Amino acid sequence: MIVGYDGQRYTGYNVAPGKEFAGAVMARLNDHHDKYDAGAEMKRWHGLTTLLSPGFSGIGPSDRQDDGYSKGELDAGAIIESLHRSGGVIDESIKIITHSMGGAFGKGYVKAILGYAKENKIAGVKIAFEADFAPFQPGDQSAVSGISTLQFSNDHDGAANSWINPFKATTGAKVMTNDNKNKGHSIFDFLDKIKYLPAGN
């Protein structure tokens, strides 16, 4: 699953051949069972206000996580039902890939899926990992307990790492940064980091 702005942003729409992010991720994970969600298109969106006063605007990281949880509650049943099974036993793991504001949204989504599985006593539901690319306001977020979380950030990301929003690490995440001045906030600036994702099944 990829959480970000929209599927087209990641699947290569108007992107040069070989620069498609989602396809490269799925190839690395050997998993082509994908789903996309918009982690920034929320009912509380008020534009620039989120940069200037995220707590006051109502769309800070905790709000985006709440939105992710709400959406995860709606999707959890269908997602779990769609997982591959052998002999009735789930043998496909879930991987969460996020970009920018999708980071906080993804954490809420993970909690909702795990909560649904526990509440309905569904065995075998596993979140293999969450990988956050250029997460927005990562210092105000924490990895979901028990979930391996990776943070990929660029030092010269003018959106996620700026004087308004200086770089910080997500609590409990393994962080990888890049000081290349030509690497910014675009998901395509992280194509060379896909190789660091755990090989999936």
Mean pLDDT by 10 residues, the chain (201 residues): 53 60 88 80 46 50 91 95 95 92 93 97 96 93 96 93 82 95 92 89 59
Q: What is the pLDDT of residue 18?
A: 61
Residue at 98 is within a domain: yes
Residue at 201 is within a domain: no
Residues in CB range of 32: below 8 A, 6 or more apart: 26
Number of structural domains the chain divides into = 1
Q: Taking the model in full, what pTM does it have?
A: 0.86
Range of the domain at 147: 2-196
Structure-block tokens of residue 101: 């504001």
Residues in CB range of 30: below 8 A, 6 or more apart: 199, 200, 201
- The domain that holds 92 is classified in CATH as 3.40.50
Q: What is the pLDDT of residue 54?
A: 45
Residue at 68 is within a domain: yes
Residue at 58 is within a domain: yes
Residue at 174 is within a domain: yes
Q: What is the pLDDT of residue 163?
A: 74
Q: What is the pLDDT of residue 5?
A: 46
Structure-block tokens of residue 34: 């994908």
